[in-house]
Amino acid sequence: MKVLVPVKRVVDFNVKVRVKADQTGVDFANLKMSMNPFDEIAVEEAVRLKEKGKATEIIAVSIGPAQAAETIRTALAMGADRGILVKTDGEVEPLAVAKILKAIVAEEQPQLVITGKQAIDDDSNQTGQMLAALLGWGQGTFAHKLELDGNSAKIEREIDGGLQTVEVKLPAVMTTDLRLNEPRYASLPNIMKAKKKPIAEKTPADYGVDPTPRLKVLKVSEPAKRAAGVKVKSVAELLDKLKNEAGVL
């Protein structure tokens, strides 16, 4: 079974982002970039499937600037077999990403696509669902647990009320939640081996997709600073402040 795993290059989750002075977007200058954490979980799950003998090949795909090749190399060091870099310098919205992935799926013919449920930069949570719709495949989102059985996949997914189990026929699309697994750290030998693994370079035009954004960002601003909290001595004082100062009662 062939598994396709899209991986996105984002600002490292430990970094505090800054807004540009002209409020046109986020200032990426001198910021540490890394793989989207949910995509790390997706790569880890694919590698575990391969270790269990369920998967035969893992293809890591990234859509972005030339530097996104580093993100693919990270996936290769974790255990992916080869990569595809779709080079584009502009912002690529979820629908365009899904269309590119659809074309790659048609070319590579994977039986399973595992994506992170969302990217931590735009938090769209749309690509996996859009891809499944474009392909006409079954989908299991927010996966908490995955079990493959022949030509079907049983996916335990996280919902507001707890856990829900769905069964989909392969091929299918799955998006990962935080508690699916704990991604491994790439060892030095595997990092060295990853340098020799192939990465094919493509463009959106190669797949017949126009990545021009459909949305226009008017302004980006930092959230308002929160006021410091205060300690109260009694329940009566708390209720008085909630009623007369906060105005929530």
Contact 73, 195 (CB under 8 A): yes
Query: Among residues of the chain, what percentage have pLDDT more than 70?
Result: 100
Helices 37-51 and 68-78, packing angle to 10 deg: 30
Instruction: State the CATH number of the domain containing residue 198.
Output: 3.40.50.620
d(CA 5, CA 110): 10
Q: What is the pTM of this model?
A: 0.86
Share of the chain above pLDDT 90, in %: 76
Q: Which residues of 11-32 are buried (b: 16+ CB within 10 A; e: fewer)?
A: beeeeeeeeeeeeeeeeeeeee
Query: For 217-238, what is each residue's pLDDT tens digit?
Result: 889 888 888 888 889 999 999 9
- Is it the case that residue 149 has pLDDT exceeding 80? yes
d(CA 31, CA 67): 13
Q: How many domains does the chain have?
A: 1
Sign of the alpha-carbon dihedral angle for 51, 56, 62, 66: positive
State the average pLDDT for the chain. 93
Range of the domain at 144: 2-246
